[in-house]
Amino acid sequence: VIVGGGIAGLLTARYIENNEVTVLESLPRIGYRKHCAGIISVSTCRLLNADDFADEWYDRAEIVTPLGVVDIRCRKPFAVHIDRCAHENAVAAELEDRGHRIVLRANVMNIEKRNQLYEIVALTKSGVKKFVAEKLVLAEGFSRRLSERMGLQCVRKTLVGAQLLVELNARLREGFMKILFDENTVENGFLWHASLSGGRKAMIGIVGEPPIRKPMEMLVRISKRVFGLDVSKIVDFWGGHVFAGYPIVAIRRNVAAVGDCVAMVKSLSGGGLYGISRAAPALARILERGAEVKSMKMLHDLFKRLRNQYLMAMALHGIFKRVPRSSARPRFEITLDYLDYDNHIEVLYTVMKTIGSERMRIRWSAEVSLGED
Ligand SMILES: Cc1cc2nc3c(=O)[nH]c(=O)nc-3n(C[C@H](O)[C@H](O)[C@H](O)COP(=O)(O)OP(=O)(O)OC[C@H]3O[C@@H](n4cnc5c(N)ncnc54)[C@H](O)[C@@H]3O)c2cc1C
């Protein structure tokens, strides 16, 4: 049984080969709650088998920090935007085609272990139902109620995120994203915007410590004042909880946890699909075949990377808080053949390696204004 029909639960079910799977989801539909921006690396997109749901490819990123601006041009796309809800629905349809069961409006209230089996009590539309399972996957997202109870542990810090989808009068460069770290506007988070529909639309987002007051009004203001976008129409607005952290224990014999509930996230951005797309196949294999070395090592390495990213994110925010606000800062213009969008430490390392080489131009600029005044 898998508790939670978000991407973490669905993807783990996709990798279960020799067992019957029942996914219990409390919401009335798969892909019902839109919360994610849907920007992922090209390699994560491949692992999710989501190429058909990609509608914008990013090859240029401008990262603005109080220490300097890094303008990265990549010779091939490093990230894509996907339609997350359509992708979740496609994975769900594939599971049902393979004979797995998805039970909607099934809110799991309690789980007990009896004689090596898990008894799962869910509130469904036809009343309280009991499911019995040999193996259990907890993919409950925001909630940690059940995974904590089953002894699965993580370090997790809760942030909030929101984004606005807009149409533009003046087109943005296709495949462009800008990320702005400014602790005065948003603590421990960032502001961003990215082109969509070939630059005719844009998403403008914020991630940071709660509470973010009036996020929609704030994003409208930011799109104009901070990013200088010429917005003609607001198309959509959505958001949810974003996490920083890393898993500590994600599997114990016949029970595993995957996704946001055990903080399988890239802490600098809150992106969860990188960790989920790597952990889901490994967890599924371990549950089916036992603790095989390759999968255990894969998980161990992944969690170590996520932990290092968490420590780096905390350190960077600490530094950004201490740097005095100034409009004059160096601008590093870099051309790369390849950018590892999932590994932020690797990105930092790549940028540092190009210093002094002909692939980097350094200029002093006073043109960017940091955040809202
Ligand atoms: C504003 C925002 C922007 C984001 N942008 C990106 C991005 O650009 N790229 C990226 O990689 N990630 C992004 N993320 C993060 C990404 O969306 C999450 O990491 C990912 O969706 C987590 O998937 P999940 O399946 O673990 O959790 P969820 O998607 O939250 O799914 C959990 C599911 O479990 C169900 N559930 C919970 N408890 C129970 C229960 N007791 N019984 C039955 N069902 C239950 C819930 O109803 C839910 O459907 C973003 C998140 C937010 C909020």
Residue 366 has pLDDT above 60, yes or no: no
- The Cα 295–Cα 286 span in angstroms is 7
Residue 351 has pLDDT above 90, yes or no: no
Mean pLDDT of 202-223: 96
**Secondary structure (DSSP) of 299-313:** HHHHHHHHHHHHHHH
Q: Is the CB of 36 under 6 A from ligand 1?
A: yes
Work out which ligand 1 atom sits closest to the CA atom of 240: 53
- The Cα 136–Cα 200 span in angstroms is 45
- The Cα 25–Cα 7 span in angstroms is 11
Q: At residue 215, what is the residue type?
A: P
**pLDDT-derived band at 373, boundaries 50, 70, 90:** very low
**pLDDT-derived band at 329, boundaries 50, 70, 90:** confident
What digits encode the pLDDT tens for the residues 225-240?
999 999 999 999 999 9
Mutation pick for ligand 1 pocket among 53, 242, 269 (CB with most ligand atoms within 8 Å):
242
Residue 79 has pLDDT above 50, yes or no: yes
Q: Is the CB of 123 under 6 A from ligand 1?
A: no
Residue 362 has pLDDT above 80, yes or no: no
Q: Is the CB of 40 under 6 A from ligand 1?
A: yes
Q: Is pLDDT larger for residue 23 or for residue 360?
A: 23
pLDDT of amino acid 371: 47
**pLDDT-derived band at 347, boundaries 50, 70, 90:** confident
Q: Which residues contact 288 (CB under 8 A, 6 or more apart)?
A: 16, 17, 18, 19
pLDDT of amino acid 195: 98
Mutation pick for ligand 1 pocket among 39, 195, 236, 260 (CB with most ligand atoms within 8 Å):
260
What digits encode the pLDDT tens for the residues 2-17?
999 999 999 999 999 9
Q: At residue 55, what is the residue type?
A: D
Residue position matching structure tokens 């020799």: 18
What digits encode the pLDDT tens for the residues 27-41?
999 999 899 999 999
Percent helix, strand and coil across the chain, each to the nearest 5: 30, 35, 35
- The Cα 228–Cα 205 span in angstroms is 14
- 199 in Cβ contact with 82 (< 8 Å): no
Helix (H, G, I), strand (E, B) or coil at 204: strand
pLDDT of amino acid 282: 98
Mutation pick for ligand 1 pocket among 39, 111, 118, 140 (CB with most ligand atoms within 8 Å):
140
Least confident of 103-117, 124-138, 224-238, 320-334: 320-334
Q: What is the token pair recorded at 186? A: 């948003």
Residue 364 has pLDDT above 80, yes or no: no
231-265 core/surface letters (b: 16 or more CB in 10 A; e: else): beeeeeeebeebbbbbbeebbeebbbbbbbbbbbb
